[in-house]
């Protein structure tokens, strides 16, 4: 899968401030947007960790009024986005700040879309459905994995369909991302593992995506290297600030890669699975990754060889089947070492659920850029193998 550099390529990114303490610039950026009243979005867990109060204090000290919304669940739901948008409007806010993992950040993106258009968030499912700019958006990620803070994706759960749908548009790329490794210190080991593997999947899928190219490849490979090198040590040494910084950097690079190259079948299937059982997104990705890699390998053997090499395996003299075996072994080893070895059946998926899960996966925009074209039966087989 070679790339012609002369092909037109688009690359979108927010303004990024990376490094310890970067969150403390939040009031300055809000002032730069002329904020009269900030709408601060988060969730109960982040609030308990103290990060919401810190941002509130920083805003108050700068003389910026704010209104806070923390009614966001682990997978942000349609009704939560709509409730947030109503509160944003009634409070008279004009700038949105989110601090948290992917859920508060995606919810904040949804609030911006709804407040600008005055319509249901359900109407924006799909690609490039947004026609009116959202209010200024500043995101502060507290996890190292989702990359919602740099991406043109918003993922929302629709409980009525038991389905997570994607909104993809450069309009949901935040204006500013304050990426501060210090705020990941309050993540527990399970969340650290889930978000770290999520970032690894972002990087792998971006590198083999049919939308990949020279502008995304470098970010994807560096993300794979950083996460492969540092995630297992971080799980073993959760207080190591340098390891957290390296994983945060890998997450950012993976986000820049997948936001522009898009993703593949792992995410299409994971969105369907996570919406069906309300599971952590990174855990869904972990359960599916090796099975999708095994399915996709023949479609881009050279690209998977480069991934294998980036994960520290010397592939010189190896045949493609041997490379495939070593890559799958390394993925399985990584999952084992970070404690994400569960299979679908252990979490309640039944064989009878697979046709419905596969139908929703085939509707997900991420399936379009999967390197191997997939039928619904192909997707069903992968789910069956992951049981």
What are 178-209's pLDDT values in tens digits? 999 999 999 999 999 999 999 999 999 999 99
pLDDT digits (tens, 9 = 90+) for 229-269: 999 999 999 999 999 999 999 999 999 999 999 999 999 99
Residue 2 included in any domain: no
Residues 85, 86, 90, 92: what is their CA dihedral angle, to the nearest 10 degrees?
A: 10
The per-residue pLDDT for 311 is 98
Map tokens 């957290």 to a residue. 244
Specify the DSSP element, H or E, that contains 194. helix 189-208
Do 179 and 199 share a domain, yes or no?
Answer: no
Give the rounded distance of the alpha carbon of 157 from its chain centre. 14
Query: DSSP assignment, residue 300?
Result: -
Do 96 and 229 share a domain, yes or no?
Answer: no
Considering 169, 184, 199, which residue would you say is the last residue of a domain? 184
Considering 151, 184, 217, which residue would you say is the last residue of a domain? 184
Residues 348 and 314 sit within 8 Å (Cβ to Cβ)? no
Give the rounded distance of the alpha carbon of 216 from its chain centre. 16
Question: Based on the structure, what is the number of domains in the chain?
Answer: 2
Q: Which domain holds residue 147?
A: 15-184
Give the CATH number of the domain where residue 165 resides. 3.40.50.1970
Three-state SS for 97? strand
Cβ neighbours of residue 18 under 8 Å, at least 6 residues apart?
179, 248, 249, 252
Residue 197 included in any domain: yes
Do 255 and 119 share a domain, yes or no?
Answer: no
User: Measured between alpha carbons, how far is 325 from 321 in angstroms, rounded to an integer?
Assistant: 6
Question: Which regions of the chain are under pLDDT 70?
Answer: 1-6, 8
This prediction has a pTM of 0.94
Return the closest-CA partner of residue 46 out of 66, 68, 67, 24: 68
């Amino acid at each position: 899968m070679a790339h012609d550099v002369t092909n037109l390529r688009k690359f979108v990114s927010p303004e990024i401030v990376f490094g310890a303490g970067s969150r403390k610039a939040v009031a300055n950026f809000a002032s730069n947007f002329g904020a009269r009243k900030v709408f601060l979005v988060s969730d109960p867990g982040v609030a308990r960790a103290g990060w919401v109060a810190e941002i509130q204090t920083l805003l108050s000290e700068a003389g910026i009024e704010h209104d806070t919304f923390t009614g966001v669940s682990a997978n942000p739901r349609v009704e939560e986005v709509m409730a947030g948008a109503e509160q944003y409007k009634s409070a008279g806010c004009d700038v949105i700040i989110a601090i948290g993992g992917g859920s508060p950040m995606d919810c904040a993106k949804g609030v911006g879309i709804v407040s600008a258009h005055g319509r249901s968030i359900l109407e924006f499912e799909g690609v490039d459905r947004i026609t009116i700019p959202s209010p200024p958006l500043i995101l502060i990620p507290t996890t190292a994995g989702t990359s919602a803070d740099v991406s043109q994706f918003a993922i929302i759960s629709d409980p009525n369909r038991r389905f997570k749908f994607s909104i993809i548009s450069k309009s949901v790329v935040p204006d500013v991302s304050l990426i501060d490794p210090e705020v990941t210190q309050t993540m527990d080991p399970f969340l650290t593992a889930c978000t770290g593997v999520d970032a690894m999947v972002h990087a792998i899928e971006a590198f083999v995506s049919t939308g990949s190219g020279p502008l995304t490849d470098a970010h994807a490979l560096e993300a794979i290297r950083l996460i492969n090198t540092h995630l297992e040590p971080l799980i073993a040494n959760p207080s190591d600030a340098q390891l957290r910084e390296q994983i945060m950097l890998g997450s950012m690079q993976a986000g820049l890669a997948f936001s522009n190259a898009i993703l593949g079948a792992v995410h299409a299937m994971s969105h369907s699975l996570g919406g069906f059982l309300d599971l952590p997104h990174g855990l869904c990705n972990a359960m599916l990754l090796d099975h999708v890699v095994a399915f996709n390998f023949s479609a881009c053997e050279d690209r998977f060889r480069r991934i294998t090499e980036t994960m520290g395996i010397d592939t010189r003299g190896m045949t493609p089947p041997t490379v495939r075996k070593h890559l799958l072994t390394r993925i399985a080893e990584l999952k084992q070492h970070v404690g994400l070895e569960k299979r679908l059946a252990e979490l309640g998926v039944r064989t009878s659920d697979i046709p419905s899960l596969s139908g929703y996966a085939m509707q997900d925009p991420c399936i379009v850029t999967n390197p191997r074209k997939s039928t619904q039966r192909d997707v069903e087989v992968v789910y069956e193998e992951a049981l």
